[in-house]
Amino acid sequence: MKLLQASLSPPYPPAGLRTAEEFPAFQRRLRRPTIAVLVWFLSARRLLFRLLILSSRFRENIIMSCFSIFFRRINFDHQSNKHNHDIPEIKNLKIITYKELKNATGCFSHANKVGEGGFGPVYKGRLKNGKNVAVKVLSSESKQGVREFLTELSVISDIEHENLASLYGCCIEGDHRILVYPYLENNSLAQTLLGSRYNDIRFDWRTRVKICVGVARGLAFLHEQVQPPIVHRDIKASNILLAEDLTPKISDFGLAKLLPPNTTHVSTRVAGTIGYLAPEYAIRGQVTRKSDVYSYGVLLLEIVTGRCNTNTRLPSEDQFLLERTWALYERGELESIVDTYLADDLDMKQAYNFLKIGLLCTQDVAKLRPTMSTVVRLLTSEIDINSQKITKPGLISDFFDLSVEGQKKAGSRFSFQVSSCHDSGPETSPLSSENTTHIFTFTGISD
């Protein structure tokens, strides 16, 4: 029995020996998985908590970024809508993106720059539809703002006349203010007739008559057929463009001024070019249609004589074209100033009459000057110029004397641009020589 009991009982280790469970190392190994799991759990919990915090911040950043983009977009749309508010009401006007104009002009490269307008540079470009255009970029330093820019758009987009440059499109995108015109390969009178004798255009007498009459008709349209009437304010050779058939196109309405109904003149900041400026405009800032008539008279003298209105390289008595013409008229030698490049088709009597019409337009007293519709009739011989009395013109020398005296009396700041030219080679235009510029402000007007 004892033997059976001994065989059924578990064997005990010999004396002095311990079981594996009794060894400390084994006990530590038994506890190790539990501690590792606990450490892993705590680490995972901490990591998850951090991830949740980061995720919350990330979501917050994303949300804030979305709100920021959303509100910026709303603000941009608001600004765009404000700038483009009047555009849908402007007929026959294409809206062109800045990107397309940038591509069209080679990033507005200097090689494509063809001139400098009243408010900024002008570039030649080619749109993606293949159309060649003149791109007039509003200078960042210009005084012309959105209101003036939109005024210019509304004025010129509604005007259609054979002798006025038509507007093709515009860009009002961000801070960019750009006008786009069809490009005329023959450029302007300043760069062809007056700019160089080395061009392919032959300005015979018949062509000059066409240009003189065309510009007069364009101005008569602005003054008398558009309501309210428009005063251009900067009629000069560089603003007379020539189409392929040499039809003249009056350009650059950047200085155009709408006359309110029932008013004869508007007081404003003077902007223009000395030599073309009427005395009442240059001295008192008084804008009238007769101011344009004066400028046209100077231009008429330039076309007939082939000389620009100011040339400081000539002797003092010949530097100012208007003064020289008046002196010759008084001596009865007016024919001597007619362009010697004119060939066999020259009608000397007609040229002589055109010079007298120019003097009639530049008379010092504005009310004595003819209207532009009368000028057209004089040019086409419907009215005999010999029936008109011609008085002394407003001369540049008188202007400088008056401006200095006016500065002393009124303390006004005068601003004008003096263009001086000389006979130049094929690469330059005489009207591109150095200019002197100042700023006009006026405290009052005297009639």
Selected residue with higher pLDDT from 359 and 14:
359
How open is the CA angle 314-315-316, to the nearest 5 degrees?
Answer: 115
Tokens of 102: 């940038």
Q: Which helix (H) or strand (E) holds 400?
A: helix 396-410
Per-residue model confidence as pLDDT tens digits over 351-366: 999 999 999 999 999 9
Measured distance CA(222)–CA(242) in Å, rounded: 19
Instruction: Tell me the torsion sign for CA atoms 149, 150, 156, 157.
Output: positive
Residue from 175, 234, 252, 398 carrying the catalytic annotation = 234
Q: What pLDDT sits at residue 86?
A: 45
What share of the chain has pLDDT > 70, as a percent?
60
- Going by C-alpha positions, the residue among 297, 277, 285 that lies closest to residue 399 is 277
What share of the chain has pLDDT > 90, as a percent?
38
Per-residue model confidence as pLDDT tens digits over 238-262: 899 999 999 999 987 645 654 556 5
Residue 95 binned pLDDT confidence (cut-offs 50, 70, 90): confident
Q: Which helix (H) or strand (E) holds 437?
A: strand 435-437
Measured distance CA(12)–CA(165) in Å, rounded: 121
Per-residue model confidence as pLDDT tens digits over 40-56: 667 766 766 665 565 55
Domains of the chain, by residue range, sit at 85-183, 184-437
First to last CA, the chain: 152
Neighbouring CB atoms inside 10 A of 132's CB total 13
Residue 120 is given by DSSP the state S
Active-site residue flag, 292: no
Q: Does 184-437 match 85-183 at the fold level?
A: no
CATH number of 85-183: 3.30.200.20
Average pLDDT of span 62-66: 51
* 226-257: burial string, b at 16+ Cβ within 10 Å, e else: beebbbbbbbbbbbbbbbeebebbbbbbbbbb
Measured distance CA(427)–CA(241) in Å, rounded: 18
Q: Are 355 and 342 in contact (CB under 8 A)?
A: no
Measured distance CA(297)–CA(280) in Å, rounded: 15
Average pLDDT of span 103-131: 89
Measured distance CA(421)–CA(135) in Å, rounded: 26
Mean per-residue pLDDT over the chain, rounded: 75
Provide φ and ψ at 23, rounded to 5°: -80, 135
Alpha helices, DSSP H, located in 225-338 = 279-284, 289-305, 321-331
Measured distance CA(358)–CA(344) in Å, rounded: 23
User: Residue 11 pLDDT > 80, yes or no?
Assistant: no
Q: Which CATH architecture has domain 184-437?
A: Orthogonal Bundle (1.10)
Q: Is the backbone peptide bond immediately before 228 cis, with ω within 30 degrees of 0? A: yes
Question: Can you point out the beta strands (E) in 76-148?
Answer: 94-95, 113-116, 121-126, 132-137
Q: Strand pairing of 435-437 and 417-419?
A: antiparallel
Sequence-separated (6 or more) residues with CB below 8 Å from residue 242: 184, 186, 187, 188, 189, 192, 201, 211, 248, 249
Alpha helices, DSSP H, located in 137-264 = 146-157, 205-224
Q: Are 338 and 351 in contact (CB under 8 A)?
A: yes
Residue 112 binned pLDDT confidence (cut-offs 50, 70, 90): very high
**252 SS3 class:** coil
